Chain A
Amino acid sequence: MDVIISFCTALVALLICLQVTVLLLWIERKGSALIQDRVGANRANLFGGLLPFNLGIVNTMMADPLKLLTKEDIVPAAADRLLHWLAPWVAVFPLFLTFAVVPFGDVIVVGGREINLQAVALSGGILFVLAMVSLGVYGVIVGGWASNSRYAFLGSVRGSAQMISYEIAMGLALVSVVLTYGTLDLQEIARLQGRLMWGVVPAWGVFYQPIAFVLLFIAGIAESKRAPFDLPEAESELVAGFQTEYSGSKMSMFMMSDFIEVAIIAALTTTLFFGGWQVPFLYRDGFHFPGGLTVAIPSLIVTLLQIVSFLVKVFVFCWIQILIRWSLPRLRYDQLMAFGWKKLLPVGLANVAASAVLGLLLEGWTRT
């Protein structure tokens, strides 16, 4: 029975990851069109436009992956065949695992059995996320090197330097969050955000660690290699950067890894700074509004509300990332490095020091 439950929670986590990814594919195409005042993907339409509305969302989501998966797979003659084949898998696989530690709901009790709505309840959840995200860089390096092409190689060298640099800012942001909550467990962090400050404001992480939130979000966008940090693939300079020599399904895997990274950054931001699956004032037995108003709700609906709340927050942050990607111009490489090392790093260090001092002064300030 335990095995079945673990299997189900893992499956749900994987499906959330996959579905968010596929939806992002459509949201990005339509969203960019919206921002650039175009119509966007409208060719894939069921029944040749006989319907009064466009079923584009269904079709784009099916047509795009189908098209990519059935295209010819071209491997350059001078490429290192083994590593060229391996790189997309290396890029995608660790990112899938990341969602295993992200909690998407509270513990539910079904038939006297407690089920934790998190695929793997790892005590070092934050470290696991950091480890998996840091492995994503291998796909970029190996892919660019194995292609044996100047553009691809330049892209992968840029990518590895960029990802290592911004990981530091990301790590420092996570350290200050850990100092605030005193735990590395993501489920525990989400649960701690269910309390109220002064009886009215939900005690979300963003109110305790606003600087860490900004740091993590910026570093996260840099990790996902999207504009304004898309130097590894900079299409106006490097064709497509590290994935220049990839086509068909392998290229689609690199593309998917980008979208999963967007989803991971959104999920991480949600869990650490915006209450995770928490709905303000919603507890296990229903709503308790400040002022004494109470609305009782059955526990199954509470769980559903939590999952919906988590997904809504994740999509909001995905959308913000898409907005940023389509509105900001690309940084120059020296700007990128200067920003990471001379701005984010000192701010991150100062934030860690401030969090540590404040944490000591107001002993248990977040635990009250």
Chain B
Amino acid sequence: MDPDVILFWVVAVLSVASALTAVLHRNPVYCALALVMALFQVAVMFVALDAHLIALLQVIVYAGAIVVLFLFVIMLLSLEPDAPPRGRYGMRAASIMIAVVLGVEIGTAALISEPGAPFRVPFDFGSTRMVAQSLFTEHLLPFELTSVLLLVAMIGAVVMARRRA
């Protein structure tokens, strides 16, 4: 069997397992750690697809920063394991609907695409140069809009923190 295929199946099983743990485990700290595991598996997938830059950014941004902040908040609130869910039921219904829509989407994509058809990409696909080039030429406007969005979010956070203080 092709080593790439073996790697894919190992990573796929692990990522689904850790994603399920993240959703279903009763202890919020375990959930956050399982989320890190799932993000890691996705990063490995990116490496397997030769997208090293995306894989590294995935680890730096999600595993290295965002989930650390999740954990930080979980610990500060000291959420008890087995505590009843704090969200309203509307949240649950919305998340189930989103999951169903995503599932249908992925399922149709898998059905439509030809099985075993080689997925052709340029050889330096996912390299830093390639990503930077498409980001700063083709997708410059969305890129700038995203940075403005982040800036707005940051300023909003500062304003809200000031009002409280």
- By a beta-carbon cutoff of 8 Å, the part of chain A in contact with chain B is 83, 122-124, 127-128, 130-131, 134-135, 137-138, 141-142, 145, 153, 156-157, 160-161, 163-164, 167, 184
Chain A residues contacting B128 (CB-CB under 8 Å) are: 123-124, 184
- Contacting A at CB under 8 A, from B41-99, are 52-53, 56-57, 59-60, 63-65, 68-69, 71-72, 75-76
Nearest CB in chain A: distance from B41 CB, A? 15
A356–chain B nearest beta-carbon distance, Å: 13
B157 to A: closest C-beta gap in Å: 13
B56 is contacted by which of A127, A142, A160, A164 (Cβ under 8 Å)? Answer: A127
- Please list 10 pairs of residues, one from A and one from B, whose beta carbons are closer than 8 Å in the complex, sorted by A's number: A127-B56, A127-B60, A131-B60, A131-B63, A138-B33, A138-B68, A141-B71, A145-B29, A160-B68, A164-B68
Cβ–Cβ contact B65 & A134, under 8 A: yes
Compute how far the CA of A83 lies from the CA of B59 in the bound complex, rounded to whole angstroms.
21
Complex Cα distance, B64 from A172, in Å, reads 16
Contacts of A123 in B (CB 8 A): 52, 127-128
Task: Tell me whether chain A's interface is mostly helix, strand or loop, or mixed.
Answer: helix
- Which of B29, B33, B64, B127 contacts A131 (CB under 8 A)? B64
Closest 3 A-B residue pairs measured CB to CB? A134-B64, A131-B59, A127-B56
In the complex, what's the smallest C-beta–C-beta distance from B133 to chain A, in angstroms?
14
Contacts of B60 in A (CB 8 A): 127, 130-131, 134
B68→A141 contact, CB < 8 A: yes
What's the Cα separation between A123 and B29 when bound, in Å? 34
Contacts of B72 on A, CB cut-off 8 Å? 141, 157, 160-161, 164
A123 to B131, CA, bound (A): 13
B75 touches A157 (CB 8 A): yes
Give complex CA distance A34, B163 in Å: 52
Closest Cβ neighbor of A184 among chain B residues: B128
Task: Report if A157-B76 is in contact (Cβ < 8 Å); known contacts: A138-B68, A141-B68.
Answer: yes
Contacts of B29 in A (CB 8 A): 83, 145
| Residues on B facing A (Cβ under 8 Å) | 29, 33, 36, 52-53, 56-57, 59-60, 63-65, 68-69, 71-72, 75-76, 127-128
Q: Roughly how many angstroms separate A313 CA and B26 CA in the complex, as a whole number? A: 50
Q: How far is B59's CA from A130's CA once the two chains are assembled, in angstroms?
A: 9
Contact B56 A124, beta carbon cutoff 8 Å: yes
Decide if A124 touches B53 in the complex (CB within 8 Å). yes
Picked from B52, B59, B127, the residue with its CB within 8 Å of the CB of A135 is B59
Interfacial chain B residues near A167, Cβ < 8 Å: 64-65
Q: Which residues of B contact A145 (CB under 8 A)?
A: 29, 71, 75
Contacts of A135 in B (CB 8 A): 59, 63-64
- A83: which B residues are within 8 A, CB to CB? 29, 33
Taking CB atoms, residues of chain B closer than 8 Å to A184 are: 128
Q: CB-CB < 8 A to B59: which residues of A?
A: 131, 134-135
Chain A, residue nearest B81 (CB):
A80
Q: Which of A124, A128, A137 contacts B68 (CB 8 A)?
A: A137
B53 and A137 contacting across the interface, CB-CB below 8 Å? no
Closest residue of B by beta carbon distance from A86: B33
Closest CB-CB distance, A134 to chain B, in whole Å? Answer: 3
CA distance A163 to B59 in the complex (A): 16
Most buried by B among A83, A124, A156: A124
Q: Which of B52, B53, B71 contacts A160 (CB 8 A)?
A: B71
Write out the residue numbers on chain A whose beta carbons fall within 8 Å of the beta carbon of B71. Answer: 141, 145, 160
* Contact, CB under 8 Å: A128 / B36: no
**A163→B72 CA distance, assembly (Å):** 12
**Chain B residue contacts of A164, Cβ below 8 A:** 65, 68-69, 72
Contacting pair A142 B33 (CB below 8 A): yes
Chain B residues near A134 (CB, 8 Å)? 59-60, 63-65, 68
Residues of A within 8 A of B68 (CB): 134, 137-138, 141, 160, 163-164
A124–B52 CB distance below 8 A: yes
Which partner residue on chain B sits nearest A140 by CB separation?
A: B68
Chain A residue nearest in CB terms to B60 = A131
Interchain CA distance A123-B128 in the complex, whole Å:
8
In the docked arrangement, what's the CA distance between A124 and B127, Å?
Answer: 9
Complex Cα distance A349/B65, Å?
19
Q: How far is the CB of A90 from chain B (nearest CB, A)?
A: 9
Instruction: Give, as a whole number of angstroms, the nearest-CB distance from B18 to chain A.
Output: 14
Q: How far is the CA of A130 from the CA of B56 in the complex (A)?
A: 9
In chain B, what residue has the closest Cβ to A153? Answer: B75
B57 CB to closest chain A CB (Å) equals: 7
Give chain B residues whose Cβ lies under 8 Å from the Cβ of A127. Answer: 53, 56-57, 60
